[in-house]
Amino acid sequence: MKSPALHRQRGMTLFMALIMLVLTTMLAMSTFNLGKSSIQVVNNMQNRDEGVAASRRVLDEAMSSTRFFQTPEDSLANPCKNSNVRCSDVNGDGKSDIVTTLAKPSCVKARSIKTSELDLGNTEDQGCSLGATQDFGIVGGQGQKGNSMCADSTWEMMASSVDAQVQSKVDMVQGVAVRVSADSVETSCK
């Protein structure tokens, strides 16, 4: 004859097995969700890094040319859509993944270089002294001001990259100091 206490314990084993099964399932689900969120974080970081790299490429391209201070509204050669827009194909599928727009570079400040500040042993400074006239005594003359043919200018450039797939946006601002001709300062740096 079976005791009633033994019969009750068999039911308890089934109940404990079901609780353990539920706990194991919850542990597996939380592990899966944690892994999934980690992958999303890594993917977001990768998208951000690709946007930063695209912005840096456009800023470097613009800074390596004289176009940004000669024609600020058209700083990039061979733009993809409009002027000052560059498209990047990150994954090699032939479609534009990241579109980077270079805002019109703006001149923050410009300072004429005095002729007395030039080092004529330096070839760059020699170019600034070419054509400089010695018109001391003439009212309003270049020599009276003591200015050379060049100026030091500081520019601010901003590039915004948008990932077409996930719509993430990265803005980068870069400052650049450039020696320019006095004529460029008068036309582009007002």
* Tens place of pLDDT per residue across the chain (190 aa): 566 655 556 678 888 889 999 999 999 999 998 889 999 888 888 888 999 999 999 999 988 888 888 888 888 888 787 888 998 888 888 888 899 999 988 888 888 888 888 888 887 777 787 654 444 444 444 444 678 888 888 999 999 999 988 888 999 999 998 888 887 777 777 6
Give the domain extent around 123. 11-130+145-188
Q: Is residue 39 part of a domain?
A: yes
Q: Is residue 139 part of a domain?
A: no
Phi, psi of 96 (to 5 degrees): -75, 115
Question: Tokens 């019109």 map to which residue?
Answer: 104
The answer to whether 179 touches 69, Cβ cutoff 8 Å, is no
Q: Is residue 40 part of a domain?
A: yes
pLDDT score recorded for residue 14: 85
What is the DSSP-derived secondary structure letter of residue 95? S
Q: What is the distance of C-alpha 133 from the center of its chain?
A: 43
Q: Is residue 101 part of a domain?
A: yes
For residue 52, give the nearest of 132, 159, 143 by alpha carbon: 159
The answer to whether 172 touches 55, Cβ cutoff 8 Å, is yes
Q: Is residue 57 part of a domain?
A: yes
The burial of 72, by beta-carbon neighbours within 10 Å (0-12 exposed, 13-18 middle, 19 or more buried), is given as: buried
How far is 158 from 181, CA to CA, in rounded Å?
Answer: 23
How far is 15 from 21, CA to CA, in rounded Å?
Answer: 10
Three-class SS state of 81: coil
- CA angle 51–83–44, rounded 5-degree value: 10
Number of independent structural domains in the chain: 1
Q: Is residue 2 part of a domain?
A: no
Q: Is residue 4 part of a domain?
A: no
Q: Is residue 136 part of a domain?
A: no
